[in-house]
Chain A
Amino acid sequence: MKAAESAQGKAGFALFEFLYKYGTLITILLLIIFFGMMTDNFFTQASMIMILRSISIVTIIATGLTVSLAVGGFDLSVGSTASVANAVVISMFVWHGQNIGVGIAASLAFCLVIGLINALLVINFKIQDMLMTLATMFVFQGVALTYTRGATVSQNMIMPSGDFATGTIPKVFGKLGSVPWIIIIMLVVVLLVHMFLSHTKHGRYMYMIGGNTEAAKLSGIPVSKYRLIAYLMSALLAGLGGIILGARVMSAEVNAGSSYLMEAVAAAFIGYSVLGSGKPNAFGTFIGAVLIGILSNGLVMMSVPYYAMDIVKGSVLALALAITYYKRSN
């Protein structure tokens, strides 16, 4: 009796292991089949490209978050950081008439400062990363709002002085936000971060710090330095996401980046389980974003109203978290 039970338990565990490893990929496959049968034009090339385009900004932001997760951190301020980058890059063009290089450089410089602030707070005050970045998330959101005076920044906007803004957004900049460049940028980011985390010494160190900070410290790994680098990378990639967002909509809406936070977290946590890695990883994050993208695009095609979409996305995140933590407790 007992032997039978334990054999059953073992089989159950093996099944869980299998689903843990391949569950995400299988789900994606099933969703594609499902939506393909339920809608007319899901299988078209245009639809596939649309999905990739729709997930590109989330994916870029989520890979940044993934790096912060790798060192055992959690950068909740990525959405706000994207908002700041978005506002800065568009304002550089519209308000200050700068060229594309200066615009992007200024925007990324802002993000580096944000990353530095996050890192210093988290490292020096030994506050839980998630709580600290929850606070800075609001601070940076406020910074973005204050900077734009709570208004949408776009070409020909009315300035506080009453004049129209004279600057224009460079045409080349707009290219960054359209197919194929937006997809190419996303894929390059995923590839680079994946290489960094999995194939370099620095990535290895980050995973070690995330796995056991004390042991990493006693192995002579400069823990604070790598946590700093992780937060800088996280802010930079979030900023890149915000810049691409600006290129996509050619304006800086109020709080445009913050809506990406939840999806980025979901993508990163779904990514833990992809191919059984059990760790935050860039490739898995990409797959997570694909899953969310297919789900939300498919549901839109099935005429599920946009305002019900958060229910689905939130549930997916809850499921991903449940699987990750259940696996960890085993």
Chain B
Amino acid sequence: MSKLKETTVGRLEMKGISIAFPGVQALTNVHFEVSAGRSHALIGANGAGKSTLMKILAGAYDHYTGEVAIDGKEVRIRTPKDAKDHGIQIVYQEVDTALVPNLSVGENIMLEQMVHGLKGRHIINWRQLHRSAKELLERMNIHVPTTMLVQELTLAEKQMVLIARAISLQCRFLILDEPTAPLSQSETEQLFQLVRLLKTKGVGVIFISHRLPELYEICDDITIMRDGKRVAQDELAHISQQEVVEYMLGAKLDGQFPERNHKPKPGHGEIWFKAQHVNDPGKVNDVSIQVRKGEIVGLAGLVGAGKTELCRALFGASQSAAGELSLGGKPLRIRTPHHAVASGLALVPEERRREGIFVGESVAVNLTSVVLSRFTKLRTWLSPAKEKRASAEIIGSLGIKTPNEAALVRNLSGGNQQKIAIGKWLLADAEVYIFDEPTKGVDVGAKRDIYELVAELASRGKCILYASSEMSEMIGLTDRMYVMYDGRVVKELDTAVTNEEEILLYSTGGMMI
């Protein structure tokens, strides 16, 4: 990797970094280096390990192996304070977690100084604080009054405040974790100007992003990661978008997806579920999709592309959403999830613990929750015997590992909880099944079960909408897919004639420039 600058001065190196979490080897022998005054793109598919690597650099973990060196000298980084002392600052994607909303911009920028710089003193010099904060903002070319409360700022401005905080401290290397994901075009441009400014001041910027075109606009070097390993490092000018995508994907996994016997022929069969001009201001932008009976239609796109928002809009779970839906030719009026369920829709939500299951209730209560009326006498009195029978059936057919149907869902593993989140909709016998990242956080065996379940539902003539940011699932499971980017459907692809590279290219907005 000698194409990068050869001197060790002003260079940060991570050598042979490995880290494991219970059950996962997250990083294996990763090398990473970034030079002062240059911006370095760090890219990889979801779960490739880029965030973990950057968290190690920011001192969030202390149980990794390997070595970090700055200017050729080894340094010890085990706590966030170590990292900051060496001039490494990070701006995380979730800006709100790092800001105090009811304090002013000035106080937020100078937060570290207020916490650590006031040892032994009790009185804050407000004039000095606001003056220093103002100077910083002016240097960065940002025009926000330092007395304004952070809660009144836009997302982009909040990000700027965090960057200002980072460079208010000693800042030699700045990590930006997907900074552009929530930003508009002009806000992104403003951020890029700031990055260029920082580069001229000798700051090394590490830039994590899923959006390929903008990396080419702002970055000098690139490191590509896959499955916890570094697969490429080079100057960005030497590597094409197509190559980046190929590096990100690597070899494909085969054999984990079920064979489908009743696969509908492309373009054949009755269009059953139809959604037109679905809009949800700021989240979903004029999306039209249709699903045939027995068809598995994928919703591809990276994290933050608007897949979850679209799923929720279709299901009536977003109050601001609007659009025309129809099922079997009949128009649907869905204003709440209650209407959606009554109309034959089912949604397996992404955040299963928060949105899909009742952890304090038993397996049986969870499984019968959607169609509880069916397990009652006179539509009122619960019939535990009926509930028990039905849940035992689902437990058996899905292979849910639980002592019995009365066990609390809290005590089951993530994969089994996910099966319950899906299983409760099997009893409902809906016509349209919407899955939102159903395999997220689920182990390989349970994944396979879930794929089989989805395929089985399709073979029974259900309409399936399958949202996932895993490209391999799109290829392995779906018949057809819509690729989303920035809240819009940018491309419809036929699974038989596409490949992961093409999906990823559209997902990253690659074909748009």
Contacts and interface: CB of A to CB of B under 8 A. Distances in A.
Interface of A: 199-202, 204-205, 207-208, 211-212, 214-222, 278-279
B369 interface: yes
A181 B208 CA distance: 73
B373 A201 contact: yes
Interface stretch (B235-243, B254-262, B335-343): B335-343
A200 B382 contact: yes
A202 to B, nearest CB: 7
A200 B337 contact: no
A216 B349 CA distance: 12
Contacts of A219: 337, 341, 369-370, 424
A125 B370 CA distance: 27
Contacts of A218: 315, 317, 337, 347, 349, 355-356
A312 B397 CA distance: 54
Nearest to A205: B372
| Residue from B338, B356, B373, B376 with most neighbouring chain A CB atoms (10 Å) | B338
A77 B424 CA distance: 37
B360 interface: yes
Contacts of B357: 212, 215
B372 A214 contact: no
B369 A208 contact: yes
Contacts of A201: 372-373, 376, 379-382
B39 to A, nearest CB: 40
Chain B: interface size category: 20 to 34
Contact of B355 (A214, A220, A221, A279): A214
A178 B287 CA distance: 67
Interface string B328-352: 0000000011101110000101000
B358 A215 contact: yes
A71 to B, nearest CB: 13
A175 B373 CA distance: 41
24 contacts: A200-B380, A200-B381, A201-B373, A201-B376, A201-B379, A201-B381, A208-B361, A208-B365, A211-B359, A211-B361, A212-B354, A212-B357, A212-B359, A215-B354, A215-B355, A216-B358, A217-B317, A218-B349, A219-B341, A219-B370, A220-B337, A220-B340, A220-B342, A221-B338
A96 to B, nearest CB: 38
Contacts of B359: 211-212
Contacts of A208: 358, 361, 365, 369
Contacts of B379: 201
A204 B360 CA distance: 13
A207 B368 CA distance: 14
Contacts of A200: 376, 380-382
Contacts of B340: 220
Nearest to B374: A201
Interface of B: 315, 317, 336-338, 340-342, 347, 349, 354-361, 365, 369-370, 372-373, 376, 379-382, 424
Given A201-B381, A217-B337, 12 more contacts: A199-B382, A201-B372, A205-B372, A211-B360, A215-B354, A215-B357, A218-B315, A218-B347, A218-B355, A219-B341, A221-B338, A278-B360
B36 to A, nearest CB: 46
Nearest first, the 10 A-B pairs at minimum CB distance are A220-B341, A211-B358, A222-B338, A214-B355, A219-B369, A211-B360, A201-B372, A220-B338, A212-B358, A201-B376
A221 B424 CA distance: 13
B336 A222 contact: yes
Nearest to A200: B380
Contact of A199 (B356, B372, B381): B381
Contacts of B380: 200-202
Contacts of B338: 217, 220-222
B390 to A, nearest CB: 14
A216 B382 CA distance: 18
B345 to A, nearest CB: 9
A220 B373 contact: no
| Residue from A201, A216, A219, A221 with most neighbouring chain B CB atoms (10 Å) | A219
A222 B381 CA distance: 18
Contacts of B315: 218
Contacts of A199: 381-382
Contacts of A207: 361
Given A212-B357, A215-B358, A278-B360, A204 B342 contact: no
A220 B369 CA distance: 9
Given A201-B379, A219-B424, A220-B340, A214 B373 contact: no
Nearest to B382: A199
Contacts of B347: 218
A279 to B, nearest CB: 8
Contacts of A220: 337-338, 340-342, 370
A189 B376 CA distance: 23
Nearest to A212: B358
B28 to A, nearest CB: 30
A201 B336 CA distance: 20
A252 B382 CA distance: 41
| Residue from A212, A215, A278 with most neighbouring chain B CB atoms (10 Å) | A215
Contacts of A204: 365, 372, 382
Contacts of B355: 212, 214-215, 218
Contacts of A279: 360
B332 to A, nearest CB: 14
Contacts of B349: 218
Nearest to A278: B360
A80 to B, nearest CB: 31
A215 B356 contact: yes
A279 B424 CA distance: 23
A279 B336 CA distance: 27
Contacts of A278: 360
A214 B382 contact: no
B344 to A, nearest CB: 11
A218 B428 CA distance: 13
A122 B319 CA distance: 18
Contacts of B356: 215, 218
Contacts of A212: 354-355, 357-360
A272 to B, nearest CB: 12
B242 to A, nearest CB: 40
A323 B148 CA distance: 43
A60 to B, nearest CB: 23
A210 to B, nearest CB: 9
